[in-house]
Amino acid sequence: MARVKIPEVRIRKDRTRTSWTRFYLPRGQDRPTWSTDSSDIGPLTGVPGCQKVWLGRQVDDCEQAAIIILWESADALKDSQDSSACAELLQGLPEDDVVSGALLQRLSLSSGDNMNSTKSSPVSLFPSLHWFPQEWFQREEFEDRLEGRVMLTAFLVPYMDVPDRLELRCSVSRAFEGFMPAGSDDLRPPPPPTRESFPWNVRPGLAVFRPEPSGWVWAWTDTGDSDLWHPGQQGTAAETESGQMVVCMFRQWDGYYGATPERGEASAKDPLAKESWARAVANAMPPIAAWEHERWDIWVISAVLHHS
pLDDT in tens, 163-202: 677 778 888 888 888 888 998 888 876 666 666 665 555 5
Report yes or no: 249 and 239 within 8 Å, Cβ to Cβ: no
H helices present in 198-270, as ranges = 237-241, 261-269
Establish if 295 belongs to a structural domain: yes
From the list 265, 296, 254, 270, the residue with the least C-alpha distance to 59 is 296
User: Which pLDDT band, with edges at 50, 70 and 90, does 40 fall under?
Assistant: confident
Is pLDDT above 50 for 28? yes
Residue 286: cis peptide before it, omega within 30 degrees of 0: yes
> How many angstroms separate the CA atoms of 84 and 123, rounded?
14
Establish if 189 belongs to a structural domain: no
Structural domain of residue 127, as residue ranges?
A: 8-181+206-303
- As a dihedral over the C-alpha atoms of residue 168, residue 229, residue 291, residue 58, rounded to 10 degrees, the angle is -110
What does DSSP say about strands 148-158 and 216-221: parallel, antiparallel, or unpaired? Answer: unpaired
Establish if 96 belongs to a structural domain: yes
Q: What confidence tens digit (pLDDT) does each residue in 243-296 have? A: 677 888 888 887 777 888 899 999 999 999 999 999 999 999 889 988 999 999
- Residue 187 is predicted with a pLDDT of 81
Strands (E), 138-271: 148-158, 216-221, 244-253
Establish if 149 belongs to a structural domain: yes
Q: What confidence tens digit (pLDDT) does each residue in 107-137 have? A: 443 333 333 444 455 545 777 888 776 555 5
The larger pLDDT score, comparing residue 231 to residue 56, is at 56
CB atoms within 10 A of CB 170: 18
| CATH code of the domain containing 167 | 3.30.70
Establish if 200 belongs to a structural domain: no
Strands (E), 132-214: 148-158
Establish if 192 belongs to a structural domain: no
Q: What is the mean pLDDT of residues 62-84?
A: 89
Rounded to the nearest 10 degrees, what angle do helices 74-81 and 84-91 cross at? 80
Is pLDDT above 50 for 38? yes
Establish if 193 belongs to a structural domain: no
Rounded to the nearest 10 degrees, what angle do helices 8-15 and 136-145 cross at? 70
Establish if 239 belongs to a structural domain: yes
Domain count across the chain: 1
Q: Give the C-alpha distances (Å, rounded to integers) separating 220 from 10, 40, 70, 148, 302.
A: 18, 28, 15, 22, 24
